[in-house]
Amino acid sequence: MFSPKRVLVLAPHTDDAELGCGGTMARWIDEGAEMFTAVFSIAETSLPPGSPRDRLKSECNEALDQIGVPTENRFIYNYPVRELGYHRQEVLEHMVGLSSEVRPDVILTPSGADLHQDHNVVFQESLRAFRHLTIMGYELPWNHITFSTHAFVVLSEDHLLRKWKALMKYDSQIELQRPYFRYEAIEAMARVRGMQVRSVYAEAYEMIRIRL
């Protein structure tokens, strides 16, 4: 059985972790894993007009409360959205620091097929920092042309509901009518991935590196 003990989720922006792997985080926490999350941008300019600049940071903390990530296991940095490419070295240095501080055995990172510029930076730097570990790429279908479904984490209805309750904390993104902040979309994705492995719900991963 593959059962990680210490998991570090790398999120370019607030909400990427919950969207890509929120169900898996809930499941592995239930199974006793210590869960850590690093967010590199709180996307201060991706907000409805008049919002406090740190609105997404507050929403992210509420979302991680829902999933069950302890407060002390959250690392939230504030690089400008779409400009992580200009801060590549700082991003790498944070990851190298997290490697010794967190001592993870599994890394969840954006997929190598993710076309968003910030997601691509986090993917590439995560390979540099964590290439000695198991690395799994999570799925954000609106950012991919292709995605290889190498691995699946089967979810219960409770895991899926915790993912959805976490996403519901992102009022700012719901106000902006992001199409992926809809229960139908989240449920349908989990159902399709579940169907591929003869379960009801699942999240799919690209396996980038495996260390067993």
Residues that bind Zn ion (CB under 5 A): 12-13, 16
- Least distance CB 117 / Zn ion (angstroms): 10
Which is closer to Zn ion, CB of 56 or CB of 154?
Answer: 56
Contacts of 97 by beta carbon, 8 Å cutoff, 6+ apart: none
Beta carbon of residue 29, minimum distance to Zn ion (angstroms, whole number): 22
Residue 208: left if φ>0, alpha if ψ -120 to 50, beta else—which one? alpha
Residue 2 Cβ, how far from Zn ion at the closest point, in Å?
Answer: 26
CA separation for the pair 145, 114 (Å, rounded) = 8
**Encoded tokens for 107:** 């890394």
Q: Residue number with the shortest CB distance to Zn ion?
A: 13
Helix 88-102 / helix 117-130 crossing angle, nearest 10 deg: 40
Structure tokens given for 164: 């959805």
Q: Please, what is the minimum distance in Å from the beta carbon of residue 198 to Zn ion? A: 31
Q: Closer to Zn ion at the Cβ: 16 or 206?
A: 16
Nearest residue (CB) to Zn ion, 12 versus 194: 12
Query: Is 6 or 180 the residue whose CB approaches Zn ion more closely?
Result: 180
